[in-house]
Amino acid sequence: MSDIDTRQLERMNAILAAQKLAFVKDRHRPLAQRKADLERLEAMIRERADDFAEAISADYGRRSKAETTIGEVGFLLASSKHARRHLKRWMKPVSVSVPMTLKPGKAYVRREPVGVAGIIAPWNYPLQLALAPLIAALAAGCRAMIKPSEYTPRTAELIRETLKGLYNEDHVAVITGGPEIGEAFTKLKFDHLFYTGSTHVGRLVALAAADNLVPVTLELGGKSPAVVAPDFDVAEAAKTIAWGKFFNAGQTCVAPDYALVPKGRERDFAQAVIDRAASYWPDADANPDYTAIISERHYSRLRSMVEEARSAGAEVIEAGFGSGACEGANTLAFPPTAVINPPPDSALMREEIFGPVLPVLGHDGIKDAAIRIEKGERPLAAYVYSKSKKTAREFLDRTLSGGAAVNVPLLHLSVEDLPFGGTGASGQGAYHGERGFLTFTHERAVFEAPVKHPSRLMAPPYGKMFEFIAKLQTR
C-alpha cells in the first residue's frame, strides 16, 4: 500500500471506531431524531438535485437529466417520506402469543438497531444506490459508512461533501477511493454490510465479510427475462419493454436482459422494439435524453458481444443514429440494439448484458419459456406479458426470481411496501420500505415472567406437577 492508501485505511478504521463508540452512547435513537435525520437528507436532495444531475452526467459523459430525476432524486424522496410516515409503527415492539404452559408471561420482539452499517454503492445509479440503503439505516437508528463507486468520482465527491454538511462523521461518513480501498472496506468489522453490484464481486464481498462474521445483504443482478405470451400482441409489449430495456441505456439491474416471444414472431417483436426506441430517443447519439455508456471498457464489451452474435449468424437490428455532430454528442452512446436468436453459448446469452442490447428468442408457450428460464441462474426480476391472469400466474408458479411484474417492467421496485432483492445468484436479503428498516434492525426476542412463575414447578425433584405440565406439552 502507498502512504495515501495507508492513511485512508487508518482513517476508515478510526471512523468505524468512532461510530461504534457513538452507537454505544446513543444506542436507541428516538423517533423524533430519526425523522429529523431523514428530513435533513430530503432537504439536501431537493436543494442539490441539479448539482447531482450535472455530476452524474459528467461521470457518464452524458446522463439524461430526466432519468436522474425519475430514477434517483424522485425515488429517494419517495423512499424517505414513506419511511418517516411509517417509522413510528415500525419501531414499536411486536407482541407474540404465549403458550398456555408459559403463562402468565409476556413475549414480544424488540426492534433494535444493529449498530454500524457499511454500504457499498455501484455506478449505474450512483446517488440512489448509495442513499436508499442509508435511508433504511437511518430509519433503523444505525450509523453508516458509505463507499461510492470509483467509476463515478464526481458524484462520489458530491455525496461526500453534502453528507458531511448534514451529519457528524461518527454518524454518517463517506469513503472515496479505488478498488483497493473498496476491498479494504469490505474487510471492516461492520455490524451489517450492504453491497449492490455484480454477482462476481458480490461473492468476493461475502467472502471478505465472512472473516468477521459480518452479515451481508447482496443486491446483485442476472439475466432478467421478459416473456410475451401467445395471447399478447408483440407490438404492444414492445412499447414498455423498449422503455424498460433502454432506460439508462440498459444499465439497470432489473432491465429486461432478454426477451422470449412466440416462435415465428421474433423479428416482428425485435423490429417493434427498435422502432419504439427510435421514437423515444431519436438520433440517440446526440439526444440529451439518451444516456451514454459509463466507460470505454464497457462500451467495447457490448460491441464485442454484438459482433460475436452477428458473426455466428444472428440478425442484428439497430436504431439509427443521427450525424453525431451535434453539441453534446457522445462517442460512448451505444445504439438501441436487438439481436435475433443469438447462439445459446454466446456471451449475450451467458452474461448479464447491462447495456442497450436485447436478445430476442422464440418459445413454444409459457411452459416452454419457464423451463428455459429455470435452467439458468435465478434472475433478479422476471416479466410476463399476458391478457390472462391465469397465464401470468402460471408463469409465476413455474419460475423463481427476486421480483416480478406483469405487463410492465421495472415498476415493482417503486412500490415501497414490496421487498426488493434477489435470490440465489441474483442476491440475498432485501430492502425498501419496512423490509429495509428490518435489514438494519436486530429483532430481539424477549420473554417477561412475573416474579413467581409456574416454570419453577418444572425444576427437580420432578413430581406430579411436572408430570401434569409435561403431559400438556406432549399430548
- Cα–Cα distance, 171 to 162 (Å, whole number): 14
Could you list the active site residues? 219, 253
How far is residue 135 from each of residues 143, 274, 318, 365, 420, measured CA to CA in Å?
11, 37, 40, 42, 15
- Cα–Cα distance, 216 to 428 (Å, whole number): 8
Gyration radius of the chain's alpha carbons: 25
Q: What is the dihedral of CA 319, 320, 323, 324, to 10 degrees?
A: 10
Output DSSP code: residue 320. Answer: P
- Cα–Cα distance, 42 to 37 (Å, whole number): 9
Residue with cell 439505516: 137
How far is residue 137 from each of residues 26, 89, 186, 440, measured CA to CA in Å?
15, 16, 17, 6
- Cα–Cα distance, 148 to 171 (Å, whole number): 17
Q: How many CB atoms lie within 10 A of CB 20?
A: 17
Beta carbons of 123 and 151 less than 8 angstroms apart? yes
Beta carbons of 119 and 134 less than 8 angstroms apart? yes
Q: Which residues contact 52 (CB under 8 A, 6 or more apart)?
A: 45, 68, 72, 73, 127, 155, 158
- Cα–Cα distance, 474 to 77 (Å, whole number): 53
Strands, E, within 167-253: which ranges?
172-174, 192-196, 216-219, 225-228
* DSSP string of 207-232, one letter each residue: HHHHTTT--EEEE-----EEEE-TTS
Beta carbons of 298 and 236 less than 8 angstroms apart? no
- Cα–Cα distance, 475 to 4 (Å, whole number): 68
φ, ψ at 119 (rounded to 5°): -125, 120
- Grid cell listed for 33: 431524531
Q: How many residues does the chain have?
A: 475
Output DSSP code: residue 117. Answer: E
- Grid cell listed for 366: 409459457
